[in-house]
Every structure is written in C-alpha cells, then in structure tokens.
Amino acid sequence: MSFTKETAAEAARSDLASRLGLGNGEVKVVSVDETEFTDMSLGAAASGEMAAQMMTSGWKIKLNAQERNYEYRADKYQLRLHNFKGKNYVIAS
Amino acid sequence: MNRNNIWIHITLAVVMITLAAVIGQIDRWRAALSHRPVHPATTARRAPVLSVRDQELADAEVIVRFKPGVSLSEMRTIAATKNDRVVDEDESVPGLAFIDDLDNADPAGDAADYAAMSDVVLYAEPNQIIQLDDPAAGARSFDVDQNEYDANLPNDPQFGDQWSLNNQGQNGGKEHADIDALKAWTKTRGSADVVVAVLDSGVDYKHIDLRANMWTRPDSVPQYQDDELGSFDDFHGFDIGDRIGDPMDDNGHGTHCAGIIGAEADNSEGIAGINWKVKIMPLKFLGRGGYGTTKAAIEAINYAIDRKKNGVNIRVMNASWGSTSGSKALEDAIRAAGDAGILFVAAAGNNSTDNDKRPHYPSNYDLPNVVSVAALDRNDAITSFSNFGAKTVHIAAPGKDIPSTWLNDQYREASGTSMAAPHVSGVAALIVAEYPNISVAKLREKLLRSVDKLDSLSGKVSSGGRLNAAKAVSQ
C-alpha cells in the first residue's frame, strides 16, 4: 500500500472512527504536517518491532474526536497510530 | 729563470687557484640559494637530460588536484584567471594538474590561492624539486607518501561528496573530520575473501555500483536448510520475512548501508565504498516499510551463523536497526554469532537519548562482539538525533548527509546512526582483509583503540573518539 499526504489522512480518520465507534464525520482532521521521524517505525515502534535507524520523511496527522486529540504517523509505505492508550499500532503497510 | 721570477710565478699560481676556489664556492652558494637542481656537470652522478615535457613539469610551480567533474578546459580557464598555465594533466590521477605560474610568484602562496578554491579544488601544493642524487630526497616521506596517497583517490564521480571518507571542508564541513580512508587505502583496499552480512531490508544486488561486490553462494556450500523453514536456494542471500532465497531490497535502506561498506570503487560510477573489494551478503528481515520483527532478526542471525559453519567467511554483521524493546533470545543469537567469530556492529539509535539510562537494542547488549555506534556530522559534532552513552555506546562515525547507493541504480544522501554503523562495519572488514586471522576480540579492540579522540565525544562514547580507518588498519 502506498500513501500520499491526503490518502494517509483519510485512512487515519477512517481508522479512528472505526476504533471509537463513530462516523467519519465525527472525526476532525486538525493538522497534517510534514516532518522528519527518527527511524523507519516513524518513532512509533510497535511491541517487539525493530526499525531501521534512518531519519525518515513523513506526515504527522493530528485528529480530534469527542474533544480528545489523537496522533497518527505516516510515510509513503505505512500508517501508524501513536500512543493510543499507551501503545503504538501499525494500521496499514 | 731567476729566483725572483720563480716566486712571482708561484705567487700568481696561488692567487689563481684561490680565485678559482672562491668562484667555485660562490657558484655552489648560488646554486644552493636558488633551490634549483645542481647542474649535471657539477654532480658526481650525471643526471638524465630533461626532455621538453620534463622541463615543462620542472617549470610547474604548483600541483593542483581538482575535484571530480572539473574538465581540463575548466582547469585551464581557472589557471588563466591567475595568469597561470596548465602544463600537464596527470592521466593516472584524475583531476591532478601541474601548473606553471607565469608571474613566477611564491609557489607556496600560489598553492594556497588554489587550495582556497574549495568548491573546485581538493588540494594544492608547491611543486617540490627532488634531486636524483640527493640522499635526503628519499627521506622526504611527505612527497613520496603524497604520490602514493594520490594513487588511492578513486575515480568515482561522486567521491568528492563523500565527506565521511575524505573531508576537504566541502559544503561547510571541517577538513579531516573523516575516517581517513585515503590513507587507509595505502595499506589495504579490502578483500573479496571477507564477507560482511548486512541484516537489513535486503540489498539491490543488481545495482551497478554493488553487483561486483555481492556475495553469491559458491557451489561448495550447500543450500540453506532450516528445520522449521525448509530448504532455500540462497544464491544471493536470504529473505527471512518472505521465506524465499531472494533478498532483493524493496526499501532502499539496506542498499544504502551496503554501499557505504562496499560499493565498487574506482569504476567511474557513483561512489566508493570503504572496501573497494569485499563480499556483501544481504539478509532481508526488514520489510518494505523498513521495520521487522525480533524473531525475523534472530532467524537472519542464525542463517549467517549456519553459513559461517558451512565455510562462508562471514566476519562482520551490520545491524543498522533497533528499538527500545530488549529480547533475551536476540541477545543469545548475537552471542552465538560472536562465538562463531562474527563481529556485530549496531546502530546506537536516533532518539537523542542516553543509552546508559534508556537502553536501545541490540546495541546495548553487553556482549564481547557488539560495537555500538553513534553518529557524527561533517564538523565532527555528534548529531542532534544520535543516541550516546559513556558506557554503552562505544564509538562514533559519520552519519549525517551520507551519500550512498539506492534502489534501481540510484544514489541518495541519508542520515542516521544507520549510516554510522556501516562505516564501522566497513573498517572492520578492511582490518580483516589486512589481518585475516584476527579474532573478534582483537578486531573490536583495534576499532576502539585506534579512534581519533574528540572533545565533542568526551562522556558520550566509551572510546571517546571517531572511527579512523588508517589507524585501525595500521596499529
């Protein structure tokens, strides 16, 4: 799966809506910022995962639902949910 | 002839002899002061008569090494702006030109003028005149070494961008903030007998700048047989994730690391690897996204150990990956690799944190075959992203804006301790090429004891220094 800035943001919105049992319209995209992550797990390694230690360009996607903020991270190869209830998740790759 | 006439003749003879001696001494003083070769007729050993070309080279006051890509016509144009003339371009050393200063200015000053043109010039120096019969000439090791040094400059067109191997201050860098590769290459340029396993996202083994240095399984080594995974035709290496014998890279990261260790050098293509000759064994366990599981990493290490036991001379493993999650099983696999005679070089991590307090694995495993590597920039400063650790990070190496090979015959600059680790792996392979029977313990010791100590690394890495290839292969 390959992502663009737009498709990554839309996939993040759908995932969060599904995760919270909400409609897509109830999840708001706050911002999508280009950033450089510290490694190829986008600084959001899942449990037991090893990542290449190369600085990697991608997008930090901030969402809001039910007055709470959530952060997804993406590059052209993957989408991750960062620090959701204390854990990181690979959503798509 | 009366007695008075005899004394007159004797006196005249003494005066003439004395006069001749004085004139001769004046000539010798003049010759010495002029820094010119002593005329052949005055030397005991007759020097060869200079040809027109030799005479032109003798007239050249300055030797300038232009950067790759500067054409002869551009050299001439640059020289003309200083009222100088390019006498000759050395065919064996690309970019090396002999320049005649038509103003006959001070050669040292003229050389300094050229050296200041750092965007187009690698170095410049006055043309030293060495007399054939001067016994001191052979002791002028700088001149001799410089020629040898020049012969080790590869003709790869992007070599001028490889500050980590030869930092001339390009792009705002600091001169000599590099691993001193040119000097190391006067000792060894690597060996095709040394195998470096790259545990990564695979390697583009068809890359034009890598394919000559890729490992392939020799007929004498049987196909890989794993009790759990079955048998694989591991001709090019192994893809653990997809469980096939094709470790082609689909990310680029492994290809980048491989290029630093051993891109083919002096082939008029791309870049030069630290090893001009080596064998890169790709072990793919990171997926297209650049991440993978601990289990896959263990399987990759086990594969390498198995190949070693089957006669493949794997001496170094490069691990440009990690996480903050430890694994006893991974630690045990790395220990087993050490028992099999394999050095394990690991990236220290990119979280800007202290590994003494917040461990990063596998670099933090306290094993005798593990070397943990931090990243430096082109000014010998530890990078903003690099992890450090006075006890748990051992050495630093260049890791920012590093050009290397990428997928599909491309090249790319990348940054990370991922790029620092293969510098250490590459130098480790150079050491093994020079000392084929060296033990893992001695190999690790050589790497860490030969560093250039830097203030910026005091309290940051246990050796307190930056990797130095020249010292590592010499000490």
Contact at CB, B325 and A41, closer than 8 angstroms: no
The CATH number of domain B52-151 is 1.10.287: no
Contact at CB, A39 and B414, closer than 8 angstroms: no
Contact at CB, B289 and A78, closer than 8 angstroms: yes
Closest to A55 (Cβ–Cβ): which among B297, B321, B385? B385
Chain A residue numbers with beta carbons less than 8 Å from the beta carbon of B253 are 40, 52, 54
Cβ atoms B231, B224 nearer than 8 A: yes
Helices and strands of chain B, counted as H and E runs: 12, 19
In this prediction, residue B40 carries a pLDDT of 30
In this prediction, residue A61 carries a pLDDT of 98
In this prediction, residue B15 carries a pLDDT of 56
What 3-state class would DSSP assign to B86? Answer: strand
Residue B140 DSSP label: -
Domain residue spans of chain B? 52-151, 170-474
Interface-testing mutation among B320, B321, B386, with chain A (most A C-beta atoms within 10 A): B321
Cβ atoms A82, A88 nearer than 8 A: yes
Q: Of B427, B432, B430, B429, give the one whose Cα is nearest residue B448.
A: B427
In this prediction, residue B27 carries a pLDDT of 42
In this prediction, residue A31 carries a pLDDT of 98
Strands B370-376, B395-398: pairing is parallel
What 3-state class would DSSP assign to A9? Answer: helix
CB-based contact, B349 to chain A, within 8 Å: yes
Number of domains in chain A: 1
**Gyration radius from chain B CA atoms:** 29
Q: How far is CA B322 from CA A41, A43, A53, B200, B338, in A?
A: 10, 11, 7, 11, 18
Residues 6 or more apart in contact with residue B55 via CB below 8 angstroms: none
pLDDT confidence tier of residue B371, bands split at 50, 70 and 90: very high
Cα–Cα distance, B188 to B196 (Å, whole number): 16
Proportion of chain B above pLDDT 90, given as a percent: 65
State yes or no: pLDDT of B359 exceeds 90: yes
In this prediction, residue B6 carries a pLDDT of 59
Closest to B416 (Cβ–Cβ): which among A45, A49, A53? A53
**Gyration radius from chain A CA atoms:** 12
Structural domain including A87 reads: 5-46+53-92
Work out the minimum CA distance from A37 to partner chain B, whole angstroms. 9
ipTM of the complex: 0.93
In this prediction, residue B3 carries a pLDDT of 54
What 3-state class would DSSP assign to B304? Answer: helix
**Residue for token pair 């694989």:** B232
Cβ atoms B374, B461 nearer than 8 A: yes
Interface-testing mutation among A1, A42, A54, with chain B (most B C-beta atoms within 10 A): A54
Work out the minimum CA distance from B390 to partner chain A, whole angstroms. 20
In this prediction, residue B142 carries a pLDDT of 32
Chain A residue numbers with beta carbons less than 8 Å from the beta carbon of B287 are 93
The nearest alpha carbon in chain A to B385 belongs to A38
pLDDT confidence tier of residue B130, bands split at 50, 70 and 90: very low
pLDDT confidence tier of residue B300, bands split at 50, 70 and 90: very high
What are the start-end ranges of the E strands in B275-388? 277-284, 291-293, 314-319, 321-322, 343-347, 370-376
Name the CATH superfamily, with its identifier, for domain B170-474: Peptidase S8/S53 domain (3.40.50.200)
DSSP-assigned beta bridge partners for residue B375? B397
C-alpha angle B460-B321-B295 in degrees, rounded to nearest 5: 130
Supply the residues of B annotated as catalytic.
200, 253, 418
Q: Which has more confidence, B104 or B299? A: B299
State yes or no: pLDDT of B9 exceeds 80: no
The nearest alpha carbon in chain A to B347 belongs to A53
Chain A residue numbers with beta carbons less than 8 Å from the beta carbon of B416 are 38-39, 52-55
pLDDT in tens, chain A (93 residues): 789 999 999 999 999 999 999 999 999 999 999 999 999 999 999 988 999 999 999 999 999 999 999 999 999 999 999 999 999 999 998
Closest to B291 (Cβ–Cβ): which among A38, A51, A55? A51
Contact at CB, A54 and B286, closer than 8 angstroms: no
The nearest alpha carbon in chain B to A37 belongs to B350
Q: How far is CA B450 from CA B37, B71, B348, B443, B466, in A?
A: 41, 38, 20, 11, 9
Work out the minimum CA distance from B298 to partner chain A, whole angstroms. 11
Work out the minimum CA distance from A72 to partner chain B, whole angstroms. 16
Interface-testing mutation among A42, A47, A50, with chain B (most B C-beta atoms within 10 A): A50
Chain A residue numbers with beta carbons less than 8 Å from the beta carbon of B297 are 50
